[in-house]
Structure 1
Amino acid sequence: RNPSAMTLLTKPPFLSSLKGSSAPPTGEQVAPSVTGGIGQPVGLSCKASGSPEPHTFWVLPDGNIVRKGSVVLGGFIMQSNGSLFLPNPSLRDTGHYRCVAVNQYGSASVSMNLEINPRKTLSFGDAQRGPQSASGRSTKIRAPLLLWTRPPRMQLASYREVTIHQGGEVHLECQASGVPTPLLSWVLPDRSVLTPMANSGNRISMYPNGTLHISSTLPSDRGAYRCVASNSAGAASASVRLHMSSLPPVIQQPREENLLLAPGGPLYAHCTARGAPPPTLRWRTPDGALVRPSQFLHGNLFVLPNGTLHIRKIGPKDAGSYECTSFNAVGTDKRTVRVEMKEEAQQAEVIRDAKNMPLSTPVLKNKSSSHPGFQPQTASLMSITNGETLRLPCSSSQAPKNTLGSLSWTFPSGKVVSRGDSGESGRYLVQEDGTLVIHQTSVFDRGTYTCRSTSPDTSLVSVVTVPVIIIAYPPRITTGPSPVTYTRPGVAVELPCLTIATPRAMVTWETPDMTQLRVLGQARIYGNRYLSPRGSLVIQKPSSRDTGFYRCTAKNVIGVDTKTTYLHVI
């Protein structure tokens, strides 16, 4: 049995009446000393049991504490079985080590001394004998072999930033030199430690050469990663901040489209989308079937790799609504294409107006007929930049005979507003001439708008559809801080953060103490920190307490961009 193992199985008599098996780890033990050599891996064993299961940690000679999943200077690693592992011990690691186990009922500990031999002894063979004695025998030379060491040195930049689309693959390199060869490990954003021997599952792993691999990134993967290189002469580290860019899908075509086609002709319904991670497209046919890109259906319908729905020869059975859905991990967007056959439209165009006639009464489109006429129109595509004012005239309402008739606009969301109506605190208004005015447009206003007007004598019904797209783009920090910034105590330093975005981005700074500073229209002062309206953060009279990570974030409804710097006050 290993003398340095601690097994805690005893129960105090007063616990015997408790339900279950609730026993504290008990007993204090002193284990024999452990001897190791410079640069030779050594392990200190500690096993604890109790109910509830005790929490175990190690207290080092310098007072530092090592817990499971943590790495401290020198490369100390506490393994899952409770043992303390020293991959490259040095003389400074000599001392008293204490393993402590604690649960709610008490604690127990075992202590031991670790002795590291300062040198090795080399015995030369007969080929290296010394002078012979008078008896003819040679003397054997025994000399100390001193080990030459060199602390680790990182071969890559001490700080760098990497931006990846959500769902993408990441390789973070880590290279270091030293004598003896340094042991490499990664400290993840959640402060867990990853080594080549102990990978945290298949999605995040570490190659033997030190490269950290993330097969498919998630939002929780953003943050700071630290590569630690350690050997018997010391330790070094390098940090990588991983940024995740995410953008919900935005379909580039109008949200709604009506097509009037002749039988026997082809159909092309386009559907392309942008997003991060790259969105997935699916088409739903009128009968409910789902079709993905590069897939055939019924030998007549095919979705091209770029998302375009193609029907070779369209017929009456193909009429109906086709819905394109674009989705990724952060959102969904949809577009609907309604297909109608010309043949059917010419035979009977039905006007359903509850004020004028029963819903079941068909009205034939005939110029000589006394029934109301139906005049559908489709306006050209209207594009406008996010934040501008949108004006949509209802062209059919311009004729004097129609000015006294009824008029209404239908929004892409299905909301209906009539002449003179307004809403959302005056953001939209239908003017007397039928023009729909929308102030401060956003990407949520895109889609197809429909104006329906009826003449005073109800003899004419006009319908005008207007497809609208809103031009917007995610934030981009055009001038940001360098990855590492240096300054001297008392010398002011400026951290720039200039952005462009449509709509305008909200800019915030995060300081080392996790304080959030928001850029406003006026300059703000927070202690020794000056925040300008343009986004720059100025630290006046900096000191060592201002050292740390500063992150600028620009965000709007389209996306996010960030820049981070590590400020050294030296």
Structure 2
Amino acid sequence: MNTLTLHSGAFIETIKILHIIITLPISTASNERFFSSLKRLKSYIRTIMSNDRLSDLMVIALEKEDAGKVNLNAAVDEFAQLKYSIGDTTELKCTVLYASDFNILWIKVDKERSTDPVTFSSGSTLIIKDSRLSLRYDMDSNSYSLQISNIQETDAGFYRCDVNLGTNNKLSAETELIVRRRPFISDNSTRSLVVNEGQSVTLECYAGGYPSPKVSWRRANNAILSKNISIFRGNILKIPSITKEDRGTYFCVAENGVGRGARRHIAIEVEFAPVITIPKRHLGQALQYDMDLECHVEAYPPPAIIWLNNGIQLSNNQHYKISHFATTDEITDTTIRIISIENRQYGDYVCKASNVLGTTEVTVTLYETIIPVCPPACGQLPSSSHLKNSTINFTSSSFLIVLYLFFVYFNF
């Protein structure tokens, strides 16, 4: 070996083969979690070696300089795990040389909850009465096979095969049964929030399932998140200073490739002071015709809205008609109709909205025009008082002209 090492450049493949032969461990276990120590490995091989010893084989060949880079425990754990989905069927096989001379037990161990082990079988007798469980002893292979059909989430855990050699003397091998589970959103995740504009907001979403789900965040209608992206990946989404534009529905989505994944809707309400917009700040209308002044209000909580003229709050009467239409919890459109405008009604009108976070007001100016404005005066006749005055004027000033035209018409 030393000679080969000195001339390693010429005998590369020969040296690799010798390393593999020297470091070759052989296991006859079917899905058994072993190799915890050299002593247990020695006892295990001596006990179960048979013609089927190559049914499952894991070979680890390590160069000396790479040995420290390998996590052997992780490699053995991955080898020993059984991964199934709900509804599948699995068979756990324990092969023991001279099995008929010893009592063989199949036991389930719950290491997370530290509860007492549950013995499923003793020898060829099934102790747990469950239609999904069956036990089969094969004399030719000296094996006891525990079959679990229609696997459920509760079947996950460590299953151990114990060989009782005598008082306080036994051999054990175990494997972990992992049940793939579709994602679910944990209860400690964020639900709905009501916050003030400008606050820092943290949304948290945690999910369970196997494999471990990946969590992402989206908004309804693929709206842009506060980070100017449409999808954010991670459990925690932070909004440093929330605005009213950030309000709405957020989706926490957990996916792991099993099933359709899980989704939670998180509604964020942002409380903010009223914001008022108006179509036009100056509107004109002829005397004795109606006119509508409009005001668009955004606020949450919903605000109280009033109209004022010369500092006096207006209400519904023969001169004014006020209406409010709420399209959402945050948006209200309000209109005041000035009926049969009189001279004294021209001037400034104030739309004022208030909630717990503040007060906002906007002024709309109404001025007089000669020609009626449509809408809202489309097809509208002047008020009756205006028509009366026009009739009086017609009778007194135009009668002689009409009479003169009548006389001229009949003489020609």
TM-score, normalised via structure 2 length = 0.30
By percentage of residues, which structure has more helix?
2
TM-score, normalised via structure 1 length = 0.23
Larger radius of gyration: 2
More RCO (CA 8 Å, sep 6+): 2
